[in-house]
C-alpha cells in the first residue's frame, strides 16, 4: 500500500475514533499538513528528475 494512503487512513481512523472535538481538530490539521507535505515531496521529486535530465548541467 502506498505510504501516503496508509498514513491518511490511519489519521482518518484517529479522527473517527476521537470523541473530543479538540482531538478531532488536531487530527484534521495533521491530515491537512500531511497532504501538503506529500504534495511538496512529489514536487521536489519531479524537480530532481527534471534537473537530472537537463543536459546543460551535465
Show me where the domains of the chain are located: 1-53
Total-model pTM: 0.75
Q: Cell match 489519521: residue?
A: 11
Of residues 54 and 47, more confidently modeled = 47
Q: Cell match 475514533: residue?
A: 17
Residue range 39-50, pLDDT digits in tens: 999 998 888 877
Q: Cell match 491537512: residue?
A: 32
Residue 19: its pLDDT value, please? 94
Q: What is the DSSP string of 1-58?
A: --HHHHHHHHHHHHHHH--SHHHHHHHHHHHHHHHHHHHHHHHHHHHHHHHHT-GGG-
Amino acid at each position: 500500500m502506498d505510504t501516503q494512503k496508509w498514513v491518511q487512513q490511519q489519521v482518518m481512523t484517529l479522527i473517527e475514533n476521537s470523541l473530543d472535538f479538540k482531538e478531532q481538530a488536531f487530527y484534521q490539521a495533521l491530515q491537512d499538513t500531511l497532504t501538503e507535505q506529500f504534495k511538496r515531496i512529489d514536487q521536489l521529486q519531479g524537480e530532481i528528475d527534471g534537473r537530472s535530465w537537463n543536459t546543460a548541467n551535465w
